[in-house]
Structure 1
Amino acid sequence: MTSNYHPLPAQNLTGTVRIFQAPAPEHVVLESPALDVMTNFRQVNAAITAPNVAMELANAYMMQHGVRSLFVVNQDHTLIGLITASDILGEKPLRFIQERRVKHNEILVSDIMTPLNNLEAIAIEEVARAKVGDVVSSLRESGRQHALVIEKGVNDIPPTICGIFSLTQIEKQLGTTIIPTEVAKTFAEIEARLAAS
């Protein structure tokens, strides 16, 4: 340590002391602008990981940072995929273990991520005109937890992911639970089968 640094003065805590709490996410309604529920990467850093990171480490990072997805980028920060908590906690690792005969702790992010060519994104121009209800409808229809938002590239600059929608975040801001359409279809199928038997 150099002498350029000095201990900061501290004070004893007495009496009434409060803890600062960040404001709750802004309450929105389905008619609110979609931008109100988008995580904007111009304001917040995207959570990223590398393809050769152990899946368990990626999961620990997500839990530590309170996120449910990580962008998978290569050395030059080019997007190559996306890994979600559902990927890690779902059936993908078990299938991979059975197919490759590896141990759970040997699975890498690249083994179970959704590769770039299987990802979709909504154009920022569409988002700018959309309502929260449109985003909810898109997520329900796709049965996904997340939707990426992309900005067109200009000249030599490639397209850029500039935001993400998270179903969990939208539920918090709406103050309600959103049932995916896929689940509803499944229940309908179950009821149909029960009625037929």
Structure 2
Amino acid sequence: MPYQTLPFHHFESAAGYFRPRQQLPEHVTEDDPATSVMTDLSQVTAYTTELATPISKALEMMVKRGVRMLLVRDADGHIVGLLTSRDIEGEKPKRILTKAGGAWEDLLVADIMTLKPKLEVLLMEDVSKARVGDIIATLRHVNRQHAMALDTDPQTGEPAVRGIFSLSQIGLQLGLDIDRSHHPTTYSDLEKAKTPK
């Protein structure tokens, strides 16, 4: 049977492109599995940046993507650190500029990111047995907005970041009334949102 040619059509000017999208449940409880609030990087594309990216561009990317954390990668695609909106908007840039001089516009991701040796990660083997409440307690214990989960990449057998937990995402899925404006969600925001008004 002969093969058929397919017709070509004009490309629509407003066309976008498909992106992988993980379907997290809209509502969870603190007793649901921790994975129900984890952004699973085996299902969605991770948002990353590079060492030489200006922090203004990194912040712009966070705002545009609606995230408050970027993985920092090297030229080989290995994770070398982490950048959060807290890093950019906190005291770190001011301290660096006071010490070294220069302007805010000159700061790069490499100047203010948290380097890999200082990062602590959760292991997927623990996460897979944990509940949402365990993740909240863990984040509260270390006073962080985010946590990463490390797994073994089945393709390479090497460790790889598999998932990301975000306090603001967890708050949304718990159905808490949290202001998702530019500042990171804090535990007091979670507690206030839980308290009946």
TM-score in same-fold range (> 0.5): yes
1:112 has 2:112 as partner: yes
Partners of 2:45 and 2:126 in 1: CA distance: 22
Structure 1 pair 171–7 and aligned structure 2 pair: CA distance change class (3 A): closer
**Structure 1 range deviating more: 82-91 or 169-178:** 169-178
Amino acid across the alignment from 2:82: L
Which residue does 1:147 correspond to in 2? 147
1:180 has 2:187 as partner: yes
* Runs of at least 5 residues in structure 1 that lack an aligned partner in the other structure: 9-22, 185-197
Counterparts in 2 of 1:128-167, with a 5 A limit? 128-152=128-152, 157-167=157-167
Which residue does 1:6 correspond to in 2? 10
Partners of 1:37 and 1:24 in 2: CA distance: 7
Q: Is the 8 A contact 1:122 1:148 kept in 2?
A: yes
Which residue does 2:72 correspond to in 1? 72
Residue 105 of structure 1 and its aligned partner are, at CA, apart by 0.1
More helix by share: 1
Q: Could you give the per-residue CA deviations for residues 32-76 of structure 1, whole angstroms, max 9, x where no partner exists?
A: 000000000011111000000000000000000101000000000
Amino acid across the alignment from 1:175: G
Structure 1 pair 102–25 and aligned structure 2 pair: CA distance change class (3 A): farther
State the Cα RMSD in Å. Answer: 2.4
Amino acid across the alignment from 1:159: P
Partners of 1:59 and 1:153 in 2: CA distance: 29
Residue 106 of structure 1 and its aligned partner are, at CA, apart by 0.1
Q: How many correspondences in the alignment? A: 166
Partners of 1:31 and 1:77 in 2: CA distance: 35
TM-score, normalization: structure 2?
Answer: 0.78
Structure 1 pair 24–35 and aligned structure 2 pair: CA distance change class (3 A): closer
Counterparts in 2 of 1:19-34, with a 5 A limit? 26-34=26-34
Q: Is the 8 A contact 1:152 1:160 kept in 2?
A: yes
Q: Is the 8 A contact 1:147 1:165 kept in 2?
A: yes
Partners of 1:7 and 1:49 in 2: CA distance: 30
Amino acid across the alignment from 2:171: E
Q: Secondary structure at the match of 1:30?
A: coil
Residue 158 of structure 1 and its aligned partner are, at CA, apart by 2.1
Partners of 2:140 and 2:150 in 1: CA distance: 20
**Structure 1 range deviating more: 155-164 or 99-108:** 155-164
Structure 1 pair 99–51 and aligned structure 2 pair: CA distance change class (3 A): same
Residue 102 of structure 1 and its aligned partner are, at CA, apart by 1.2
Q: Is the 8 A contact 2:24 2:36 kept in 1?
A: no
Amino acid across the alignment from 2:134: D
The structure with more radius of gyration: 1
* Runs of at least 5 residues in structure 2 that lack an aligned partner in the other structure: 1-7, 13-22, 179-184, 192-197
Which residue does 2:3 correspond to in 1? none
Amino acid across the alignment from 1:110: A
Structure 1 pair 75–33 and aligned structure 2 pair: CA distance change class (3 A): same
